[in-house]
Amino acid sequence: MSTRAAIRYAKAILNFSLEQQKEVEVNKDMLFIAKTIDESKDLQLLLSSPVLKSETKQATLKEVFASKISPLSFGLIDLLIANKRISLLSTVAKQFKVLFDELKEVQIAKVTSAIALTEDLKTKVLAKVKELTGKEATLQNIINPDIIGGFILRVGDIQYDASVSNKLQVLKRQFENNNFVSSL
């Protein structure tokens, strides 16, 4: 239920920002807001607290985001406060990014790797995605040590698994299918 509400707010702020020709600026704000909230347990607790008054939440958010986001994005915060939906702020910001990317025909390339990708590798992956799909992409790096090494690239419906764990699974199936395991 709250995701549907977040999508409605995200659509509203996107439409309003398009009318004002400030969609790129608001997109940067939404990325910043989502990242800031995700990285701060205190901010998450503040937004979800039923005990704290709306005025306290609003004052804190204005302090945290002062001079870092546009007046248009502050308008969203004020609207969420007024409608008692401020706990949705992070979700609205993330939904805005999804809608913005759809509007700009930018897809999300999810790369799962055992360790974080370097900036050089990120650039190469984005170039390869553009070459393969003909579209721009934003990169989301998911860290999963279980894949041992290599990477798994997922863009839309396409998945390319070049992980060491996948190669080991393939070898295991080949051994089992050829009865190499039973003869050893």
Same domain, 8 and 94: yes
Strand partners, 108: 138
* CB environment 3-34: b (16+ within 10 A), e (fewer): eebbbebbeebbeebeeeebbeebbebbbebb
As a whole number, the mean pLDDT across the chain is 87
Domain span at residue 76 reads: 2-102
Q: How far apart are the first and last CA of the chain?
A: 56
Tell me: pLDDT of 111 over 70.
Answer: yes
* Nearest Cα to Cα of residue 70 among 28, 8, 40: 28
Give the list of residues 6+ apart from residue 150 with CB closer than 8 angstroms, or none. Answer: 113, 114, 162, 163, 164, 166, 167
Same domain, 88 and 148: no
Tell me: pLDDT of 102 over 60.
Answer: yes
DSSP E strand boundaries for 21-166: 107-113, 137-143, 151-155, 158-161
The pLDDT tens digits for 47-94 are: 999 999 999 999 999 999 988 999 999 999 999 999 999 999 999 999
Contact 136, 104 (CB under 8 A): yes
Domain end point (choices 49, 72, 102): 102
- Full-model pTM: 0.66
Same domain, 76 and 144: no
Q: Rounded CA gap, 126 and 141, in Å?
A: 12
Contact 101, 27 (CB under 8 A): no
Tell me: pLDDT of 178 over 80.
Answer: no
Same domain, 51 and 20: yes
